[in-house]
């Protein structure tokens, strides 16, 4: 029997939650993907008891003021940073941008685009890996400017929270059947650590977010330079099915996965809701999410890069629906 974390659907997508001063902050793209808001609530069981703060709206004249997707809120040093993807209304122009503030609720000012100058291509879902006193950007992107598919995961060094200081390295591309049953997509990377065994993982979302095929996969750091693709290996099975694009938050003495899932099997993004489940560890130190963790299976190294473009096209979004594609 499947037991969901919350019997009443809480609309939302790509959740990123940060504990702050006894409350939880959930950052979201709102108002038809044209602004960024933070919802403040007391705990996961009371998401509906939120206070909403509109922290950023670039405006209609901005060349990246539309299709704002998957914002993340990070405290780095003594300041707060929001990383988000946006475009001019044309998906192929999506790039990643940074906001900065002294307080998580603002006021924010825009620092600008964050990118690998040698590969200024489509880029979404950027997160920050802090490891051995260094910063790394990890994101989902295209290999070429007009590729469309596949979506790969890349890592690059950062010299500060708003600057990528070296060329990207691809650390994952869709290669298993479960990563490309509808569309060849790796996106939504999130850092996860098992401190008891000193294990470092990147959890990512795979396949088509607009379908019930969306799921989560796992990359494990093997040691060595995080910028070397051989330092990562991919678990050959999904670690979670039925939802994706989650974050991981320690609340009290429990680690939670907070993610979104679709309520219906029909393709589209309008029926996504936010759920949460506790995370435990199996006997080998790998994460198990709720009661739906996949059985253990061998891991594989990253396979050869896909070179052919996919002809998979996501369903059209209705104007004003306010839905993201990841």
CA nearest to 314, candidates 91, 146, 1, 158: 91
Instruction: Tell me the longest C-alpha to C-alpha distance in the chain.
Output: 54
- Looking at per-residue pLDDT, the higher value among 318 and 47 belongs to 47
Residue 302 pLDDT > 60: no
Find where tokens 């500060």 sit. 160
Any idea of the CA torsion for 135, 252, 276, 47, to the nearest 10 degrees?
A: -100
Find where tokens 């294990």 sit. 199
Domain ranges of the chain: 16-300
DSSP state of 304: P
CA nearest to 62, candidates 32, 23, 29, 97: 97
CA nearest to 205, candidates 240, 153, 155, 245: 245
pLDDT of residue 311: 40
Rounded distance between C-alpha atoms, residue 217 and residue 236, angstroms: 8
Q: Which residues contact 313 (CB under 8 A, 6 or more apart)?
A: none
Query: How far is C-alpha 162 from the geometric centre of its chain's CA atoms?
Result: 18
Hey, is 184 helix, strand or coil? coil
For residue 253, what are the CA distances in angstroms to 19, 279, 290? Answer: 13, 11, 15
Residue 190 pLDDT > 70: yes
Q: Are 256 and 277 in contact (CB under 8 A)?
A: yes
pLDDT of residue 61: 83
pLDDT of residue 307: 29
pLDDT of residue 146: 83
DSSP state of 177: G
Residue range 16-300 forms a domain whose CATH class is mainly beta
Q: What is the mean pLDDT of residues 103-112?
A: 97
Q: Are 12 and 91 in contact (CB under 8 A)?
A: no
Q: Are 215 and 238 in contact (CB under 8 A)?
A: yes
- Looking at per-residue pLDDT, the higher value among 12 and 306 belongs to 12
Q: Are 93 and 54 in contact (CB under 8 A)?
A: no
301: preceding bond cis by omega (within 30 degrees):
no
| Assigned token pair, 156 | 């690059």
Rounded distance between C-alpha atoms, residue 97 and residue 84, angstroms: 6
Residue 315 pLDDT > 70: no
Find where tokens 């051989």 sit. 230
Q: What is the mean pLDDT of residues 277-296?
A: 80
| pLDDT, tens only, 165-182 | 999 999 999 999 999 999
For residue 241, what are the CA distances in angstroms to 206, 290, 292? Answer: 10, 11, 8
| Assigned token pair, 294 | 């996949």
| Assigned token pair, 316 | 């059209």
Query: What is the pLDDT confidence band of residue 59, given thresholds at 50, 70 and 90?
Result: confident
Residue 87 pLDDT > 60: yes
Query: What is the pLDDT confidence band of residue 300, given thresholds at 50, 70 and 90?
Result: very low
Residue 290 pLDDT > 80: yes
| pLDDT, tens only, 136-174 | 999 999 998 888 899 999 999 999 999 999 999 999 999
Residue 309 pLDDT > 70: no
């Amino acid at each position: 029997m499947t037991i969901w974390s919350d019997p009443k659907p809480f609309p939302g997508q790509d959740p990123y939650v940060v504990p702050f001063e006894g409350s939880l902050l959930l950052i979201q793209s709102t108002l038809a993907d044209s602004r960024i808001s933070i919802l403040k609530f007391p705990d996961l069981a009371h998401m509906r008891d939120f206070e909403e703060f509109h922290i950023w709206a670039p405006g209609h004249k901005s060349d990246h003021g539309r299709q704002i997707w998957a914002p993340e809120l990070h405290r780095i040093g003594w300041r707060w940073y929001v990383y988000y993807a946006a475009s001019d209304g044309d998906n192929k122009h999506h790039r990643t941008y940074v906001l900065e503030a002294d307080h998580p609720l603002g006021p924010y000012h825009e620092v600008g685009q964050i990118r690998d100058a040698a590969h200024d291509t489509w880029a979404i879902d950027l997160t920050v890996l802090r490891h051995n006193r260094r910063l790394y950007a990890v994101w989902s992107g295209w290999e070429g400017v007009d590729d469309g598919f596949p979506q790969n995961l890349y890592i690059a060094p950062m010299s500060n929270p708003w600057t990528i200081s070296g060329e990207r390295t691809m650390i994952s591309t869709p290669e298993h059947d479960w990563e490309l049953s509808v569309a060849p997509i790796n996106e939504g990377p999130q850092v996860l650590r098992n401190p008891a065994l000193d294990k470092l993982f990147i959890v990512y979302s795979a396949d088509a977010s607009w379908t019930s095929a969306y799921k989560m996969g796992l990359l494990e750091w093997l040691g060595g330079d995080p910028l070397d693709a051989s330092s990562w290996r991919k678990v050959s099975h999904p670690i979670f099915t039925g939802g994706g694009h989650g974050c991981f938050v320690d609340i009290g003495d429990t680690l939670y996965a907070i993610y979104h899932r679709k309520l219906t099997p029909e393709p589209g993004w309008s029926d996504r809701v936010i759920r949460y489940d506790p995370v435990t560890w199996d006997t080998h130190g790998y994460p198990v999410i709720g009661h739906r963790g996949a059985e253990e299976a061998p891991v594989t190294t990253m396979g050869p890069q896909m070179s052919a473009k996919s002809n998979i096209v996501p369903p059209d979004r209705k104007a004003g629906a306010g839905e993201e594609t990841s």
